[in-house]
Amino acid sequence: MSDARSVLQVELAGAARAAGLPVVFGGEVSGGRLRLSGFVGTRTTALHNLDVLPGVGMGGRVLMQNRPITVNDYGSARTITHDYDRPVLAEGLASVIAVPVQTAGRCRGVLYGAVRRPVTFGDRVRDALMESGKRLARELAARDELTNRAASLSPGASREELRAVHSELRAIAGALPDPEARRRLYAAAQRLADLGEGRPVPEPRVRLSTREMDVLAQVALGRTNAEVAERLSLSRETVKAYLGSAMRKLDAHTRHEAVVQARRLMVLP
């Protein structure tokens, strides 16, 4: 299972619990179409890897309109095309709700919830799916940022380029509200740091906290406390406190010495 599919599966499982739905599924948009790739509660493989085209079926309408759509009795619904009746009805689904996964105002995926009898969905179901969609959107945005940053590096990227991208990734990670997305982007920043080192990285003798690392990575680029505070959405006093604790751990007397020591210990790239 790919990394992206694993994240989708986690969100679907959470949405199923929060909404109290027996069936939840969804997928990501690629090449202008939606591919269904994550499933909870399905009994058949009829929907697996199904490609949904823009404007076709429920998911196609969501792609075009970028808003939630609900049908209370799928088989007799007149508000959608019925191009996908065979897989939907093979799964025995009757009432279906579909919500968009939006990043930067663009539909990047669709999440569906369904039951096998006609019902009217309440706000709880819609809100639970929308919240899962928001979390997935943040994950996709973080992944996009990582991809764009990595692509900006030339094949012979200098150490300073690597350091700048590492610092930017940590700043983005610290601003993410979703813990899992934040953890994954921090891990990506560390992989980039290790890659830039170009040799096996030993276990560091000094352990800095996440925020101490965030601040020090910004300081390493020559930024002032005020600039670091703005970049990380922290107060100047908080930045000063994190920098001070990092300096104590590194046995450094100046910010420059702290950066040099952190690089020597391979805490920073």
**How far is the CA of 34 from the CAs of 222, 253, 263, in angstroms?**
44, 55, 44
Whether residue 82 is found in the same domain as residue 189: no
| Residue 173, domain CATH | 1.10.10.10
Show the tokens assigned to 128.
């639970």
Using the predicted structure, report yes or no on whether residue 155 has a pLDDT greater than 60. Answer: no
- Write down the pLDDT at residue 1: 39
Whether residue 161 is found in the same domain as residue 131: no
Rounded Cα–Cα distance for residues 178 and 211 (Å)? 16
Rounded Cα–Cα distance for residues 126 and 266 (Å)? 47
Confidence of residue 199 (pLDDT cuts 50, 70, 90): very low
Confidence of residue 96 (pLDDT cuts 50, 70, 90): very high
Whether residue 123 is found in the same domain as residue 170: no
Whether residue 98 is found in the same domain as residue 165: no
The 8-class DSSP code of residue 224 comes to: -
53 lies in some domain: yes
| Residue finishing a domain among 136, 162, 182 | 136
Mean pLDDT of 47-54: 96
142 lies in some domain: no
Whether residue 164 is found in the same domain as residue 251: yes
Mean pLDDT of 103-119: 93
Confidence of residue 204 (pLDDT cuts 50, 70, 90): low
Using the predicted structure, report yes or no on whether residue 123 has a pLDDT greater than 50. Answer: yes
Please tell me the total count of domains within the chain: 2
- From the list 105, 34, 33, 32, the residue with the least C-alpha distance to 67 is 105
**How far is the CA of 124 from the CAs of 22, 41, 82, 163, in angstroms?**
14, 19, 27, 45
How far is the first Cα of the chain from the last one, in angstroms, to the nearest whole number?
31
List, in sequence order, every residue forming a beta bridge with 23; answer none if it has no partner: 114
Using the predicted structure, report yes or no on whether residue 38 has a pLDDT greater than 90. Answer: yes
Whether residue 211 is found in the same domain as residue 103: no
145 lies in some domain: no
Residue type, 242: Y
147 lies in some domain: no
Average pLDDT, the chain: 85
| Residue finishing a domain among 73, 106, 136 | 136
Using the predicted structure, report yes or no on whether residue 200 has a pLDDT greater than 80. Answer: no
Mean pLDDT of 86-111: 94
Cα–chain-centroid distance for residue 110? 15
Whether residue 61 is found in the same domain as residue 172: no
Whether residue 109 is found in the same domain as residue 165: no
Strand ranges inside 116-250, DSSP E? none
Confidence of residue 2 (pLDDT cuts 50, 70, 90): very low
| Residue 10, domain CATH | 3.30.450.40
In DSSP notation, 31-57 reads TTEEEEEEEES-SSSTTTT-EE-TTSH
Mean pLDDT of 55-84: 94
Whether residue 122 is found in the same domain as residue 156: no
Using the predicted structure, report yes or no on whether residue 37 has a pLDDT greater than 50. Answer: yes
Lowest-pLDDT choice from 97-106, 169-178, 189-198, 253-262: 189-198
47 lies in some domain: yes
| Residue finishing a domain among 75, 108, 136 | 136
203 lies in some domain: yes
Do the Cβ atoms of 249 and 206 come closer than 8 Å? yes
Tell me: the pLDDT tens digits for 227-244?
999 988 899 999 999 999
- Write down the pLDDT at residue 69: 95
Using the predicted structure, report yes or no on whether residue 79 has a pLDDT greater than 70. Answer: yes
Rounded Cα–Cα distance for residues 87 and 91 (Å)? 6
- From the list 184, 179, 174, 192, the residue with the least C-alpha distance to 143 is 184
Q: Where in the sequence is the domain holding 202, given as residue range(s)?
A: 152-264
